[in-house]
Structure 1
Amino acid sequence: MRHRGSSPWSFVNKDDYMSDSAEEYVPAARSSSHHRSRPRRRRSSSSFSSSRSRRGSHPPDSLMPHHSSISSSMTSSTLCEPSFNMAPEMSGCLLQFAVDVCRKLREGGDTRNLLVSPLLLAGMLVMLLHGCATRTCASAAALGKALHVHWAPFRMARSYDRVARATLAPFRRPRLHAQRFTYTIFMALFHDNSVPLACSYYQMQERLSYLLMRRNFAHDAEQCRLSMDALARAVSSYSFKPGADVFPRGSVNEHSLVVLLSCIRLEGSWKHSFQQVSGDFHETPEATVTVSMMRHTGSFRMCRSSELEVTVLELPYENRDVSLVILLPQRLDGLAALEKRVMAARLLHCVARLEERHNMTVYLPRLKLKSVTDLGPVLKDMGLGVLFTDEANLRYLSKAESAHLSGARHVAVLHANRKGAVDSDNDVSPPPISRGVVRGTVTPPSVSASCPTSTTPEGALSPSSPSSPTADSSSGRNTSTALDEPSRSASQFVVDRPFMLLMLKRRPDVVLLLGTVKKLV
């Protein structure tokens, strides 16, 4: 229920503005008929417009972007693409938590391509947060710390519910086609017969389209595993070959009580079509493979980050609310350093500084990425081991005293082909990939004595600033501008090395995918 004149971002109850100082958290019940707002009186057009201007339909101040982000987007060279302004207090759970998960996977020795959905990863923990018995229990404290909202985890959970409801509202069915872009989003909680769910917990299934399914793990664990694996394969459009199980043997046994599953699959048409070419991709400085690439010449939004040592490029889809952001390291082996240095604040700062560049030729490999992540060991390493014990205290999830998490798996699939809505006239004669261009960076217009230069590992010259910007690496906040303006003579952007990607969705502003690509399958 929203008050008259409010926006979908508005807080419903005044308790949302308060801190989590109460003793227990009670899931919100459905509003009764006598709580509904009165019918709106009919007014004249003049009085309605004046009243609307006084009240306004803007989000609360806490959900509004900083003025710096607004001014940056308004002063850019174009406003054809909608701006991306994530709510500041939601960046911890909707982006930084996914960054932490990827970092833990790398520290654990995972050398594969990483692909996760920050929106769904946070949703899996919010599902457990809604089941915590009290605000002060160990599970709630651990979840709040992992989601970077230890100061008010349940207030964040309510904010997440609003964002997820606005994002997942069209997903009454798992798959949705919107302007030649296919979303497939699926979240499920499987529970054993010995762990009956509380009646209030089923409200999440209605509000957020979560699937709550009962299983008989104690008596037929193998059959339950096969059915769960088949469901995950079907939702992912059978992107995984036989033998690459989403739920392998041993992931579910007779002692399993609660298992979480989240799946996301994204595929769509670009705003402009690409031409198919071939090019080299350097998996390592020593190993080079020839891959199928896509090429397009046109206008793109891009910037450079001297703090992250990357060049950032945004590729728009035909659906104006979705775009793919590529963060390409300046060095062939720069992905490892980028993964250690990246933070949510720095990523959002890069996105806010994107500016349109004309006459850019982009070379991008054709992407068919898929990843299955076992979140159990990762969550335990992040301090959430209490959720896997009998001390989880998930009373609002189930009345069973022994209810706890037994496993969690995450599936992400991304397909990027060369199809687009508009054919480009500039793609008649593809120029060769220039060997004098620094891959993934912009070529300086000229090198003179007044502009000192530094030699990159690839041998190309790039201008070096006399006073390099400083940044607080511990907090991720810039003490001066860390992003340089793209060079005016930039011509090529060649994705020929391991890189990082972000899938952005506007209205509401969320990050659908975060990934690092080391090898092309």
Structure 2
Amino acid sequence: MQPSHFPTFFCIQVTHNMEKELVRGMFDFAIDIYKQVRRDDGNVFFSPFSISAALSMTLVGTRGNTAKQITSALHVKTEDIHEAFSNLHKRLHSRVNEMAVANRIYSDETMVPLLPTFRASLEKYYSVTVEPVDFCKAAEVVRQQINSWVQQVTKDKIKDLLAPGAVDSSTALVLVNAVYFKSTWKDEFEKEATRPMDFHETSKSKKEVDMMFHRGDYRMGHSAQLKATALQLPYKLDEVSMIVLLPDDIEGLKFIEENLTLQNLSSVLHEMRYEGNMELYLPKFKIEETMQLKKVLMNLGMEDLFSCSADLSGITEKKEVKFSEAVHKAFVDVNEEGTEAAAATAVINVGCCAGVVEHKVFKADHPFMFFIMAGEVVLFVGSLRHP
């Protein structure tokens, strides 16, 4: 097999400048979020695509400093990203048919009447449907209704996105984005080859896991800046792959997390080359994560959105309206056949105030990072410390 450079693999190409900026910004945003939510004692998994989509929908109705804070966090220079997001969504939908993206707003317009322009823009760019509900009289019923819709879109993988009490009689608006992805590996692992092996959680502790095995041709590259090796596992759809970033040292994941930038990650991905007859060991694993994003987003500069300073004048004419919380839940299952992943984000509103790798063995038997990519678009990001 002939060597292949990184750009030729990605068939979902982003051609317009605004779309390129959006995709680059989404990757920077993903790294920013990861550094906020990472922890030394647990796994991480989330969808920057889902969170970005929810925030972009919010951006339709924010103005002034509130909008500037969102665009800054998303690493884009303009608030006018909606057509680019719409085009990107359409391109993904047409090429990645095993991926579903759905957006919906649950609105109690007796409390916060929505502007017709807000409705029209959401429908035009994000295919959003607005569900009229009564939070004031039936908040718990609406919560169950929202959770049921998310569960349906994500094929029963995301359950109970909104916990009891997440919405109440003061809630006026809930904006929800849900993403579901499932694909088999281009070269599946044989179940008969899976066997118990040690996974070294630290240099002093280990646990026995089901370790998958496959011998084949994979694209790999090494990063001296990150002290890690990257390996690409393609799914049956050539546009989609998982990138595994394995530290050179057992406890090297923390070094990656502290030094990870879009530039040094892009560098190793661009330098990946095919290695033939590679022995790949990868643990089977599942991760389910729930994140309260309010603090995370505020730490990234989105302070006005959750305060009485929020300028939501593009959503409603009602004054002193803010968002109270942003909730994100994600699930991933990696096994011999492939990967199933899902994520959902809800934003709740209330009315108030390297070089070629020489070795031929890639053994992911200690903590690592991973990315699920659709072309240049980062759909999911995670790290595995405890299989």
Instruction: Give the TM-score range, shorter chain.
Output: 0.7 to 0.9
| Secondary structure in 2 matching 1:286 | coil
Cα distance in structure 2, aligned partners of 1:252 and 1:296 = 47
Q: Is the 8 A contact 1:84 1:351 kept in 2?
A: no
Number of residue pairs the alignment of both structures matches: 362
Q: Is the 8 A contact 2:219 2:232 kept in 1?
A: yes
Q: Deviations over 1:417-475 (max 9, x none)?
A: 2137xxxxxxxxxxxxxxxxxxxxxxxxxxxxxxxxxxxxxxxxxxxxxxxxxxxxxxx
Q: Mean alpha-carbon deviation: is it higher for 289-298 or for 377-386?
A: 377-386
Q: Mean alpha-carbon deviation: is it higher for 323-332 or for 369-378?
A: 369-378
Q: Deviations over 1:262-313 (max 9, x none)?
A: 3323221111121232222122222211111221111000000010111000
Cα distance in structure 1, aligned partners of 2:164 and 2:40 = 20
| Secondary structure in 1 matching 2:35 | helix
| Secondary structure in 2 matching 1:93 | helix
Q: Residues 196, 130 of structure 1: CA spacing in aligned structure 2 closer, same or farther, 3 A cutoff?
A: same
| Amino acid of the structure 2 residue aligned with 1:195 | V
Q: Is the 8 A contact 1:310 1:329 kept in 2?
A: yes
* 1:503 equivalent in structure 2: 372
* 2:305 equivalent in structure 1: 387
Cα distance in structure 2, aligned partners of 1:330 and 1:500 = 12
Q: For residue 403 of structure 1, report the CA deviation from its aligned partner.
A: 3.2
Q: Mean alpha-carbon deviation: is it higher for 80-89 or for 291-300?
A: 80-89
Matching of residue 257 in structure 1 with residue 199 in structure 2: no
Residue in structure 1 matching 2:72, options 104, 127, 145? 145
Cα distance in structure 2, aligned partners of 1:382 and 1:418 = 37
Q: Residues 500, 271 of structure 1: CA spacing in aligned structure 2 closer, same or farther, 3 A cutoff?
A: same
* 1:403 equivalent in structure 2: 321
Write out aligned runs for 1:113-128 (5 A): 113-128=43-58
TM-score by length of 1: 0.64
Q: Is the 8 A contact 1:236 1:413 kept in 2?
A: no
* 1:355 equivalent in structure 2: 273
Cα distance in structure 2, aligned partners of 1:239 and 1:111 = 24
Q: For residue 144 of structure 1, report the CA deviation from its aligned partner.
A: 1.8
Q: Is the 8 A contact 1:257 1:404 kept in 2?
A: no
Q: Residues 101, 214 of structure 1: CA spacing in aligned structure 2 closer, same or farther, 3 A cutoff?
A: farther
Matching of residue 269 in structure 1 with residue 269 in structure 2: no
| Secondary structure in 2 matching 1:131 | coil
Matching of residue 188 in structure 1 with residue 188 in structure 2: no
Write out aligned runs for 1:86-485 (5 A): 89-106=21-38, 111-133=41-63, 137-149=64-76, 152-168=77-93, 178=97, 182-193=98-109, 194-203=111-120, 204-239=122-157, 245-276=160-191, 277-278=194-195, 279-419=197-337, 483-485=354-356
Cα distance in structure 2, aligned partners of 1:303 and 1:291 = 26
| Amino acid of the structure 2 residue aligned with 1:102 | Y
* 2:351 equivalent in structure 1: none
Q: Is the 8 A contact 2:232 2:242 kept in 1?
A: yes
Q: Deviations over 1:235-254 (max 9, x none)?
A: 3322367xxx3211232222
Q: For residue 139 of structure 1, report the CA deviation from its aligned partner.
A: 0.3
Q: Is the 8 A contact 1:282 1:498 kept in 2?
A: yes
* 1:474 equivalent in structure 2: none
Q: Is the 8 A contact 1:216 1:224 kept in 2?
A: yes
* 1:447 equivalent in structure 2: none
| Secondary structure in 2 matching 1:189 | strand
Q: Is the 8 A contact 1:169 1:208 kept in 2?
A: no
Q: Is the 8 A contact 2:158 2:329 kept in 1?
A: no
| Amino acid of the structure 1 residue aligned with 2:89 | A
Cα distance in structure 2, aligned partners of 1:211 and 1:499 = 39
Q: Is the 8 A contact 2:291 2:329 kept in 1?
A: yes
| Amino acid of the structure 1 residue aligned with 2:25 | C
Calculate the aligned-residue CA RMSD, in Å.
Answer: 2.6
Q: Percent identity among equivalent residues?
A: 26
Q: For residue 91 of structure 1, report the CA deviation from its aligned partner.
A: 4.2
| Amino acid of the structure 1 residue aligned with 2:373 | L
Q: Is the 8 A contact 2:102 2:153 kept in 1?
A: yes
| Amino acid of the structure 2 residue aligned with 1:254 | S
Q: Residues 391, 206 of structure 1: CA spacing in aligned structure 2 closer, same or farther, 3 A cutoff?
A: same
Cα distance in structure 1, aligned partners of 2:94 and 2:333 = 23
Q: For residue 326 of structure 1, report the CA deviation from its aligned partner.
A: 0.4
**Structure 1 gaps, min length 5:** 1-73, 171-175, 421-482
Q: Is the 8 A contact 1:294 1:366 kept in 2?
A: yes
Q: For residue 413 of structure 1, report the CA deviation from its aligned partner.
A: 2.4
Q: Is the 8 A contact 1:98 1:121 kept in 2?
A: no
Q: Residues 404, 78 of structure 1: CA spacing in aligned structure 2 closer, same or farther, 3 A cutoff?
A: closer
Q: Deviations over 1:133-155 (max 9, x none)?
A: 3xxx1101211221122xx3224
Cα distance in structure 1, aligned partners of 2:5 and 2:294 = 46
Q: Is the 8 A contact 1:168 1:208 kept in 2?
A: no
| Secondary structure in 1 matching 2:357 | coil
| Secondary structure in 1 matching 2:309 | helix
Cα distance in structure 1, aligned partners of 2:378 and 2:145 = 30
Q: Is the 8 A contact 1:296 1:362 kept in 2?
A: yes
| Secondary structure in 1 matching 2:165 | coil
Q: Residues 354, 252 of structure 1: CA spacing in aligned structure 2 closer, same or farther, 3 A cutoff?
A: same
Q: Mean alpha-carbon deviation: is it higher for 254-263 or for 509-518?
A: 254-263
Q: Mean alpha-carbon deviation: is it higher for 328-337 or for 152-161?
A: 152-161
Cα distance in structure 1, aligned partners of 2:328 and 2:129 = 15
Q: Residues 147, 110 of structure 1: CA spacing in aligned structure 2 closer, same or farther, 3 A cutoff?
A: farther
* 1:491 equivalent in structure 2: 360
Cα distance in structure 2, aligned partners of 1:110 and 1:492 = 27
Which structure features the higher share of strand residues? 2
Q: Is the 8 A contact 2:50 2:177 kept in 1?
A: yes
